[in-house]
Amino acid sequence: MPKFTIQKLKRMYSNAKDCDERTFAEQRTNILLRSGDHYNRRSKNYPEDLRVRGNVNKQDKIRLVKNHIHRITNLFINSILEGNPSIEAVPFNDNELSDVKNAEMSNAVLRWVKNTNDWSRKQEKLVHDFIVIGETWAKIRFDYSKGPVVAQDEKGNPVRSGEFVVDRVFAFDLKRDPSAREASECQWWIHEQMVDIDELRETVKELSPENVEKITPSVAKANYKIFDGNAGAYSDMKNQAAVKELFYKPNTRYPEGYYVMFVDEFIITEGELPFGIFPLVGEGFDEMTTSPRHTSIIKVCRPYQVEINRASSKQAEHQITLGDDKVFIQKGTKLSSGGLLNGVRAIQYTGAIPIIQPGRTGEHLAPYGQAQVAEMYEACGLSAILEDKAAQTGDPFQLLFRSMKEKKRFVKYVGKYERFEVELFNKVIQMAKAYLDDGHMIKVAGRSEAVNIPEFRRMDDAGFQVKVIPQSGDVETKFGKILSLTQVMQYAGGSLSPDQLGNIIKELPTGNKDQAFSSLTADSDNAKNDILAMDRGEPVQINPYDNHNFFIQSITHRIKKSDFRFLDPQIQDLYFQKLAQHELALQQQMQAIQQQSMGMVPSGGFLTTVNASWNNPATGRVERIKVPSEAIKWLVDKLNGQGAFAAEMAALPPESQASIAGGAPAEESSLPPISQSQTEGAMTAAESQGV
């Protein structure tokens, strides 16, 4: 059990704060630069001085801001958001059905977490921090005060189900281990945040009631002057205290990690990290060598922006002080009005000719300012933004390729942000296995997945069953997916089974409505669930309404896989039992059809002559055969039905065909006998279907 003292914690915090003091100042300044606050002191209102006095005081300086930083950061932010970066859980091994099902369950959890966190808005803020501040950070926690009400406690207070919360954390509020040289080497972080004194008192009362008396006015002894990220300025915080949270990563010293919440006066609570999961996730824009910290694109823009502002201010100063035309007249020269004509104003003078000096517009500074702007965009890799672009026309695949090519200049930073979301939602899946109960999972994944909840809980955390990968949900990606799938359906759609066709339709970005196509994929969904249950060692009884042909094919395919022989013998027996039950049910259906075919041949209808002859014993002559028309119709229907059943039989594996035709189930010698109740149940089900 680690022993942290308040003196040790304060020393750790002080050292962590001092080592990154310049970085924090730069990160806060970046927010001001983006918002247009480029000067520490605002100049006086010189336009008002011009109106009142007609000039500008010599002590005042004109300070103009032509804020290109705002546009450049927006271009980077939009380049990431336009791709609609997202993540998806995919099976580590596509051939393992358990991996496929775990990926489906994980995706259901991820969709729920995104929905409850209003992810589209939160993602915009996280991308903003990534570009403007230079680092984006988030903290994952499970909040028991959120979610729908599921019960009441002994006092009648509502008890909620709880939800995952992804908190936005500012980089300048995170202090790190001073000895670390890379982010992966940083063993601990301290998150500092301002908390209202009354809220702090309630928290201490719940977590550390013996320290409630220590919350005195001295805890909020002074007005904290902090940087408000929302307002983009420094402000005084009254009646608030700085609460710090220490997060230690799991390591050999702390196998489950460690957590300490404290203020300057005492420790509020401490203990191991819940389930050993480190809740902080972060990623940076540009790396700083030998430091875990990162810089923003604004660091590249800043020197150019300073020169642009200086040239613009100097140009404005020339226009104000030297802008008007000046008239020089010799001593003794007199000017007077010379009358007005249409479009002409005449001025009379006596003496020497007046000299007119044109005003200055400062245009000699314009080329320098424009060169700085162009160089600024070139340094940021955005020079193509200033060029005129041709209209986008042509072949759909060519347009798709051209759009993907234009995204290459942002691929580095898009990839970094995608890594951030991958790590973030990997931790969410790990936490979900521990925090979410069966009721949660049924609400998240649906009632049809209730049988697969044990499969989700036993999923390993090492990424050997499910891996979270970045996905793009932009228009180009969806368009490319539609093009490829529609081509498959165009050329191979006629040879696909309804189940295969339904699965392809569900892959379409605009056609993935499970309820609309659930009837097409019901057989494959049920077969997957049954196979996963048997892999876990759970016996599964057949449903009389099952598509026995499909189940026989699915189970036979599973038995033929190379890993089947490594399963426990009891699990193998479960497969053979279920296969035998489906074969028996199919055999009983065949017998019912045969019994139904036995009966009186209808003799109604008109007589018709068939192309056949027989020796009529009544007349003793060879005559053409005449039979009733209803008898011919009955014979044709029977032959058609027999042919369809034969086609279904031909689709089964040879072993199953032999078992059904011979009247004995597959693997009879190694199977336990089927109970009489199962046989009677299958017969009753077949009779209820009219077969």
Residues 6+ apart with CB under 8 A from 340: 346
- Position 689 scores a pLDDT of 36
Residues 6+ apart with CB under 8 A from 376: 68, 72, 301, 304, 305, 308
Residue 265 sits at φ, ψ, to 5 deg, of -95, -30
Q: Is the pLDDT of residue 532 over 60?
A: yes
Q: Is the pLDDT of residue 485 over 50?
A: yes
Q: How far apart are CA 227 and CA 170, in angstroms?
A: 10
Residues 6+ apart with CB under 8 A from 194: 224, 226, 237, 240, 241, 242, 243
- Position 297 scores a pLDDT of 94
Calculate the CA 114 to chain-centre distance.
Answer: 7
Please tell me whether residue 363 adopts helix, strand or coil conformation: helix
Note whether residue 500 is domain-resident: no
Lowest mean pLDDT among 382-386, 393-397, 527-531, 614-618: 393-397
pLDDT tens digits for range 356-414:
888 788 888 889 989 999 999 999 888 766 654 445 555 554 554 455 445 555 677 88
Read off the pLDDT band of 506 (50, 70, 90). Answer: low
- Position 663 scores a pLDDT of 56
Q: How far apart are CA 47 and CA 491, in angstroms?
A: 71
- Position 641 scores a pLDDT of 67
Query: What percentage of the chain exceeds 70 in pLDDT?
Result: 73
pLDDT tens digits for range 295-351:
999 999 999 999 999 998 888 888 877 778 888 888 888 888 877 777 788 888 888
Q: What is the mean pLDDT of the chain?
A: 78
Task: Note whether 414 and 422 are within 8 A (CB).
Answer: no
Instruction: Tell me the DSSP string of 174-220.
Output: EEE-TT-SSGGG--EEEEEEEEEHHHHHHHHHHH-GGGGGG--TTTT
Calculate the CA 642 to chain-centre distance.
Answer: 52
Note whether residue 62 is domain-resident: no
Instruction: Tell me the DSSP string of 549-583.
Output: HHHHHHHHHHHHSTTGGGS-HHHHHHHHHHHHHHH
pLDDT tens digits for range 542-556:
888 888 888 888 888
Range with the largest mean pLDDT of 42-46, 562-566, 646-650: 562-566
The C-alpha R_g of the chain, in whole angstroms, comes to 40
User: Which region, left, alpha or beta, applies to residue 339 given φ > 0 means left and ψ of -120 to 50 means alpha?
Assistant: left
Instruction: Tell me the DSSP string of 392-431.
Output: --S-HHHHHHHHHHHGGGGHHHHHHHHHHHHHHHHHHHHH
- Picking from 295, 314, 331, the residue at the C-terminal end of a domain is 295
- Position 112 scores a pLDDT of 93
Read off the pLDDT band of 639 (50, 70, 90). Answer: confident
Read off the pLDDT band of 642 (50, 70, 90). Answer: low
- Position 60 scores a pLDDT of 64
- Indicate the burial class of 611 (C-beta count within 10 angstroms; 0-12, 13-18, 19 or more): exposed
- Position 681 scores a pLDDT of 41
CA 428 vs CA 6, 89, 435: distances in Å: 32, 12, 10
- Position 444 scores a pLDDT of 84
Higher pLDDT, 498 or 196: 196
- Position 247 scores a pLDDT of 96
- Picking from 264, 295, 326, the residue at the C-terminal end of a domain is 295
Domain range enclosing 13: 1-35+135-295
Residues 6+ apart with CB under 8 A from 477: 83, 471
Note whether residue 382 is domain-resident: no
Note whether residue 77 is domain-resident: no
Query: What percentage of the chain exceeds 90 in pLDDT?
Result: 26
- Position 77 scores a pLDDT of 92
Exposed e or buried b for every residue in 322-359, given b needs 16+ CB within 10 A?
eeeeeeeeeeeeeeeeeeeeeeeeeeeeeeeeeeeeee
Domain count, the chain: 2
Residues 6+ apart with CB under 8 A from 425: 87, 110, 113, 468
Note whether residue 432 is domain-resident: no
- Position 276 scores a pLDDT of 92
Note whether residue 390 is domain-resident: no
- Indicate the burial class of 560 (C-beta count within 10 angstroms; 0-12, 13-18, 19 or more): exposed
Q: Is the pLDDT of residue 235 over 80?
A: no
Calculate the CA 538 to chain-centre distance.
Answer: 34
- Picking from 252, 278, 295, the residue at the C-terminal end of a domain is 295
Q: How many CB atoms lie within 10 A of CB 535?
A: 20
- Position 675 scores a pLDDT of 43
Q: How far apart are CA 242 and CA 224, in angstroms?
A: 8
Q: Average of pLDDT values for 427-448?
A: 86
pLDDT tens digits for range 156-181:
888 888 999 999 999 999 999 999 98
C-alpha torsion 516→521→526→531, nearest 10: -140
Q: Is the pLDDT of residue 108 over 50?
A: yes
Note whether residue 162 is domain-resident: yes
Lowest mean pLDDT among 368-372, 410-414, 532-536, 659-663: 659-663
